[in-house]
Amino acid sequence: MRLLIMGPPGAGKGTQAKYVAEHFKIPAISTGDIFRANVGQGTPLGIEAKRYMDAGEYVPDEVTNLMVRDRIDEPDAVAGFLLDGYPRTLAQVEELDGMVAFTGHSLDAVIVLTADRDEIVERLLRRAQTEGRADDTEDVIRRRQEVYAEETEPLIAIYRERGLTHEVDGMGEVDQVTQRIFDSLNGVIES
Ligand code: ADP
């Protein structure tokens, strides 16, 4: 099972990714989480990534692609994975296609979480208070939304043309949204 979850920053991808991945017994791989873990440990990758993350910009493709390639080569991801936060650029879409094709597989579905822009900014500002993420200040949140709209949102069309997208309303209670995702995937994917 090879799944992607896409949607704007703050749409709840990380939260939903965990439930969906658990259900299908595959790892949820979040590029944002891996970057943050590296920042926390002060690794060279973390030091490099932090500059971009703090500004709300994307980490360069070469860095991100290598990191994802290493992660999906790990044993727990051989049977499948759910990627959260990747791909975000056209170069990453192409890189992922190559990685998946190389193993003789293909992507099974792309979950697209939709969300109301104002609601999202509010959510992220609330998260800033509880989690204290360095990139959850108002300016950086707005920049992340802009970068998403410019660079990532247009990529959804690529997967739509391939017939892989499942658009799900990300607004409402967490478990309602999870149920919508399962309903939408139902029939396409056997667990
Ligand atoms: P968000 O809620 O803003 O989507 P994430 O935790 O997914 O947050 O990502 C945080 C930051 O990590 C991004 O703003 C970006 O700097 C970096 N990042 C995560 N995934 C990618 C990626 N695929 N390509 C480039 N940068 C990324």
Is 162 known to be catalytic?
Answer: no
Q: What is the pLDDT of residue 190?
A: 58
3-state SS of the chain?
Answer: CEEEEECCCCCCHHHHHHHHHHHHCCCEEEHHHHHHHHHHHCCHHHHHHHHHHHHCCCCCHHHHHHHHHHHHCCHHHCCCEEEECCCCCHHHHHHHHHHHHHCCCCCCEEEEEECCHHHHHHHHHHHHHHHCCCCCCHHHHHHHHHHHHHHHHHHHHHHHHCCCEEEEECCCCHHHHHHHHHHHHECCECC
User: Ligand 1 mean position to 85 CA, how many Å?
Assistant: 6
Q: What is the pLDDT of residues 43-80, one digit of tens each?
A: 999 999 999 999 999 999 999 999 999 999 999 999 99
Ligand 1 atom index nearest CA of 87: 23
Is the pTM for the entire model greater than 0.85? Answer: yes
Residue 191: predicted pLDDT: 47
- Please report the domains of the chain, with CATH numbers, ordered by start residue: 2-181 (3.40.50.300)
Task: Report the pLDDT averaged over residues 124-138.
Answer: 85
Q: How confident is the model at residue 111 (pLDDT cuts 50, 70, 90)?
A: very high
Ligand 1, atom nearest to 88 Cα = 23
Q: How far is the CA of 1 from the centre of ligand 1 (A)?
A: 23
